[in-house]
Structure 1
């Protein structure tokens, strides 16, 4: 599965916090942090309000699959939200300087600007989440099973390809000869 690639989780988290703290682009910084911690598609991320993010958990119906998902708001997101306390709960969380919700195209332009690389896009945030889960669970089949379910994939092999794991394993065959 070609397309976007993942970003190192810690690098993405640091970039998000830097954008928030410097006020260079706080809303986009929050989008990065929320994206890598929830693993949602960009179409679902852009619909989140501050009220969603200020709760301990949220429930959404995914736009693409129409499936209901329950998500936990973790400490990474809660810590980033401390910089947004003055914003109304009903406001969409990810808005441009013109106060309109980001378009997917604009998010992709910002991703390319802040994360150098040819295959970086809004989808990289979801893949970064997946890679973090996989690595935090010792790159186990169990982690791939969970991710396969979270991502709505039909098989673990699809999840492997999606995360670029399969290609890495194939490349290692040549490297380790």
Structure 2
């Protein structure tokens, strides 16, 4: 796997919802829930407003690739957004307690704080999305094709390496001797 690792989807979702419900850090909780359910790069995620998240779908142009993407807003995000009804549609959704949009560095610090003892970063949210899609589709080649397209990777081999699947397969060679 390249760089950071993925998180357990259910545990990350639970942690995000707890941060929202308890008021401990609701904005960051929403970032976790949204990040693991949309699979966007952190730079694209931080640009989102409440209004964009409140729709049925989301149309963005990715900052890194310049490519258009259409994403569906699922029930996990909608449930999390119920706690933010008072926030205007034009506000950026992921703001610090000071009211400014999170920086990527601050997001990385918070992820390390809330997901201790792991090689985690803001990119872990995107990888968590990918691993969830792969697992939910019975770890199929079809799922890797979809993910390769969603992530704008040039090949399935890159997606396999990105999600750490390739390394797991290589490790299995040694364990099955």
TM-score by length of 1: 0.98
Distance 1:167 1:133 in 2: 18
Distance 1:108 1:117 in 2: 14
Partner of 2:88: 88
Q: CA RMSD in A?
A: 0.7
Alpha-carbon displacement from aligned partner over 1:73-130 (angstroms, at most 9, x marks no partner): 0000000000000111100000000000000000000000000134100000000000
Partner of 2:63: 63
Partner of 1:123: 123
Alpha-carbon displacement from aligned partner over 1:10-33 (angstroms, at most 9, x marks no partner): 010000001000100000000000
Alpha-carbon displacement from aligned partner over 1:32-61 (angstroms, at most 9, x marks no partner): 000000000000000000000000001000
How far the C-alpha of 1:2 sits from its partner, in A, is: 2.5
Distance 1:118 1:84 in 2: 30
TM-score by length of 2: 0.98
Q: Secondary structure at the match of 1:58?
A: strand
Partner of 2:112: 112
Equivalenced residue count is: 177
Extract unaligned runs of 5+ from structure 2.
none
Distance 2:26 2:135 in 1: 28
Q: Which moved more, 1:136-145 or 1:113-122?
A: 113-122
